[in-house]
Amino acid sequence: MRARERDRGQVTIEFLGMTPTILVTLIALWQVVLVGYTFVLAGNAADEAVRAGTAVGPGARQGACEEAGLKHLSEAWRSGATVTCGGSGSGFITSDVKLQVPVLFPGAIAFPFTVKGHAGAVEEAK
């Protein structure tokens, strides 16, 4: 037998052996992307919430903050989101947003930890 004929199909066998490793690596990278995207969404939602909170009076602040914080989130992230706004009484308003990180597909199941976004702004003069 020639050496060339003896090695026939070797690339196929090696590729099949590496397929699980390739798939696990791709899944891990996708999950890292979802975690990063959740951080971006939490930060943006906190920014939107604090902007809305600075434009209204203290009585309507929490409702306006929550509505603005949830407005741009898709249903997959909105379902487990919490938006809170507060102030120190010195004219500085803060907003905190907590989002759950989905496992592989948004809207399915989530990890048992949350991603937090925080923002602050000075209250607008009336």
Bridge-based pairing of strands 82-87 and 110-122 is unpaired
pLDDT at site 39: 92
Q: How far apart are CA 23 and CA 43, in angstroms?
A: 31
Entry pTM: 0.78
> How many structural domains is the chain composed of?
1
pLDDT at site 40: 93
pLDDT at site 31: 92
Task: Give the domain range for residue 45.
Answer: 3-122
Residue holding tokens 């306006």? 64
The predicted-structure confidence for 30-48, as pLDDT tens digits, reads as follows 999 998 999 999 999 998 8
pLDDT at site 76: 81
Q: Is 27 exposed, middle or buried (0-12, 13-18, 19+ CB in 10 A)?
A: exposed
pLDDT at site 112: 78
Give the chain's residues under pLDDT 50: none
Residues with Cβ < 8 Å from 62, sequence gap 6 or more?
84, 85
Q: How far apart are CA 119 and CA 96, in angstroms?
A: 7
